[in-house]
A and B are shown apart, each in its own frame.
Chain A
């Protein structure tokens, strides 16, 4: 099970980084999204993989580690904020330069 999650994290990272290095803004946004998935999973996995042990206090139950979950929860929301910001930046850049290349110069 650990190997499966590790492979998934590695795969998402690789795909994310590759897209991050592309020249257009849109693949870059996708790449960042994939990289966020990978990083969130990595953080989440630091609490280890336990089934049927949600951190909800009940009598006689055992729990998985709640702290990474709290961190990842905010990370997901912040990730949304970042994606939204990038999308807006991409649109703005398109407007300024008439092109969606990341190195596009300003319209002259």
Chain B
């Protein structure tokens, strides 16, 4: 396999294999664990062949085109930085998999856990291996989502769910800012591909949008890496199971933020804004979080704040913006990942064995679990920066960077003093962790009696602590090679010479380390007075502030929704109409239209009379709407006038359709009215009626005025094409029909699909429904006992063949004269309904096809088939053909393939009309049966 395919395979494997543990868990929790471990091992194996090239500084790119026209590529990149992160993500992922098997309770099947873990891992791999920035943002958001699910893994606990929600809101929100920032960045650089962006650093820094873009990107970084003041989600997230904390908060989730700083360093850094924003935020976070960590009672909380502090340190290093500081930052990323993962795991073991994380109770554990204690002490020493451990080396580099930084030339002492203060605090909280947990007297009232954990639960900690020592003692051959290529990838040039050694002589950094160690221990020694002081200080819990803000926001949203909707459709609809009117009014007043020549035709007497009758009928419907039968009759009068309007103004097809629809609709309403109350109660209060009348009049005036404005302006239409092409292109002289079945056949296909859904809805809504039929009508008269008058029956039966013949005639001539599938279908429908009405449902059902949905499907298939048939001739969907055929007896007949389409329309319309009315009719059968 080519290297680029391998690279793609890594991400794809991680992503698509993530559900496997969920499938494996039915064979036990061991199977799920094994499955997870195998997936990670597979990813590592795929990565293995790519390591040599990456170590030589070769940048491997792989891309799959997605939307090339928009510059969207699914492209990946493996360079030194990506390799370093991938190894951390996969390596620590493997250890966490093993650890979680022992940590999580035995009744947990683990499938969900490992699936989420793998999903998260895949997203992280995606982030560090993305070449396309938009792809990176997608993976970035995926890490937020996956971490939300992982943090709230104990879903029965409110605290966990809250923690997950806060983490999602903060990191997901930051992700949106990042998205905006990346869009700006891509806009400035002219490409979303990293290679192009990294090469365009000078253009980016000089661009006027640089500042907003940088701030947006940094918002994403700072929220993800828990920088002050967005840090509060991370201590909350300690509600997650410890394996999750060990993974997310050492090597992965929180490192995504600083990863992005490293990734975009050549493109974004090198300005004063970068320096002050990044180093300032990092410095504040570094000291503030170290200070808070010292006062935590909960040792996992201590580790959480320590993590924030160390992330601040890394951010500060990136902000200092010298080649050496970047090397130190990358180095500290590795070191922190290793010692913090082992510390979290050790803390998890203690928690697991003791049942509490409160350092006022967890004391003197050294005698109960000496091996774990030793491991934890070594890791904590690394956290404090004790010599011979890896944390010492990167901290030395940090100290060295603060001494003589070019920006602080005037006040040389400031930065080193600050760094030393942070060092003192780090030593102090590390001492507290070591001394309080493992020494400091005896345990107080523990729920369980602690002892060493199972052998293999400790193994991941042992591996990581061994690495702390290895890197700390033999840095030059253990870590220097990967650090060199990773730092080279960050700087996009060979990194400066650096020499990793335990001993550099008595220089300034070493003195600072000594001061930090001594000061930290001294600080810890006087802890009791400090704690007393701290307890008197007011504390602000950012998470509580957040939660309150969140609840207020939800309450405000609910108020707004209640005001607009409030569970009343009537009110909702009135608001909707008012809003539409406001929009229309705004458009009306704000538009500036040049006066156009007004073209009008003189009204004639017939139209005036028709308008008068329409007015009477329409106002009648409104005034008498509570008497429902009368209202139906008046509505049908209006429909008749609408049809007449179509006749008068050259639209015979519309008139035919309107008439046929009118009949079907009125029958439908009458059927429904049989069950519905015959009158509406007078229940609306006067103010509401007035309000509705005002809304209605405004709407009427609005649409009327719009109509007048439209009608009196000159016509500009594209219909010339249809008129010219109808006969030569569509083979029919009825242009309306040709448009429906040919030119715009796709629209019609959509329309009949909607109709078909109505037919199916009839079945879904009314099947099995039994309604109580009234015994008397609205005026208290009993319904006629003679259900089906003989007179009507005798009249209707001979009418059926005649009506069907008419509909066939209308159908056939439709392509050239008014008619077509819609009208023919309605006529057939009406003819069949008349049989129902005249002779009853029993009579009609027995003589009509029962499986109407089949006809519906046949209709849709005919229409689709007519369209798809054009593919056989290599033409686009719904291309029509037409020609003349000479049939015996009948003679020359013009046929168009569009007629098959029209036949589909016909079938759909007939079936829908029958399905709706037959379902309504069945309701009365159940009534008759019930009697």
Interface residues of A (CB under 8 A from B): 1-27, 29-30, 33-34, 37-38, 40-42, 44-58, 63-67, 69-70, 72-74, 76-85, 87-92, 94-95, 100, 102-103
Name the CB-closest residue of B to A102.
B569
8 Å CB interface, B874-931 against A: 909, 912, 916, 919-920, 923
CB pair A87 B751 closer than 8 Å: no
Partner of B744, one of A11, A13, A70, A78: A70
How far does the Cβ of A15 sit from chain B's closest Cβ, in whole Å? 5
CB pair A103 B570 closer than 8 Å: yes
Binds A, one of B39-47, B359-367, B390-398, B648-656: B648-656
Partner of A79, one of B570, B661, B770: B661
CB pair B711 A24 closer than 8 Å: no
A-B contact pairs, 5 of them (CB 8 A): A13-B699, A53-B650, A66-B726, A88-B765, A91-B771
How far does the Cβ of A55 sit from chain B's closest Cβ, in whole Å? 4
- By secondary structure, the B interface counts as helix
Name the CB-closest residue of B to A83.
B665
Q: Which of A49, A52, A54, A66 has the most CB of B within 10 A?
A: A66
CB pair A27 B625 closer than 8 Å: yes
> Does B785 belong to the interface (CB within 8 Å)?
no
Q: A5-B707, A17-B699 are in contact. Are A26 and B649 (CB under 8 A)?
A: no
Question: For the complex, what is the distance from the CA of A14 to the CA of B267, rounded to whole Å?
Answer: 61
CB pair B704 A51 closer than 8 Å: no
Q: A11-B614, A54-B652, A63-B735 are in contact. Are A76 and B717 (CB under 8 A)?
A: no
Question: For the complex, what is the distance from the CA of A50 to the CA of B664, rounded to whole Å?
Answer: 29
How far does the Cβ of A75 sit from chain B's closest Cβ, in whole Å? 9
CB pair B661 A80 closer than 8 Å: yes
Given A16-B696, A81-B755, A85-B762, output 9 extra A-B contacts at Cβ < 8 Å.
A3-B603, A6-B708, A9-B707, A26-B672, A30-B635, A42-B707, A44-B646, A76-B658, A95-B770
Partner of A1, one of B600, B669, B701: B600
> Does B761 belong to the interface (CB within 8 Å)?
yes
CB pair A73 B618 closer than 8 Å: no
Q: Which residues of A contact B712 (CB under 8 A)?
A: 2
Binds A, one of B125-133, B149-157, B229-237, B814-822: B814-822
Interface size (B, Cβ < 8 Å)? 112
CB pair B736 A70 closer than 8 Å: yes
Q: Which residues of B contact A54 (CB under 8 A)?
A: 650-652, 818
CB pair A23 B683 closer than 8 Å: yes
Name the CB-closest residue of B to A19.
B625
Binds A, one of B80-88, B413-421, B544-552, B674-682: B674-682
CB pair A52 B650 closer than 8 Å: yes
Partner of A37, one of B638, B684, B711, B751: B638
CB pair A37 B639 closer than 8 Å: yes
Q: Which residues of B contact A5 (CB under 8 A)?
A: 645, 707, 711
Q: A5-B711, A70-B736, A76-B658 are in contact. Are A91 and B923 (CB under 8 A)?
A: yes
Question: For the complex, what is the distance from the CA of A49 to the CA of B603, rounded to whole Å?
Answer: 12
Question: For the complex, what is the distance from the CA of A8 to the CA of B607, rounded to whole Å?
Answer: 11
8 Å CB interface, B567-581 against A: 567-570, 573-574, 577
CB pair B919 A88 closer than 8 Å: yes
Q: Which residues of A contact B530 (CB under 8 A)?
A: none
> Does B556 belong to the interface (CB within 8 Å)?
no
> Does B12 belong to the interface (CB within 8 Å)?
no
CB pair B700 A84 closer than 8 Å: no
CB pair A78 B751 closer than 8 Å: yes
Q: Which residues of A contact B719 (CB under 8 A)?
A: 47, 65-67
Q: A14-B697, A34-B618, A55-B723 are in contact. Are A70 and B740 (CB under 8 A)?
A: yes
Q: Which of A1, A58, A72 has the most CB of B within 10 A?
A: A1
CB pair A46 B704 closer than 8 Å: no
CB pair B574 A21 closer than 8 Å: yes
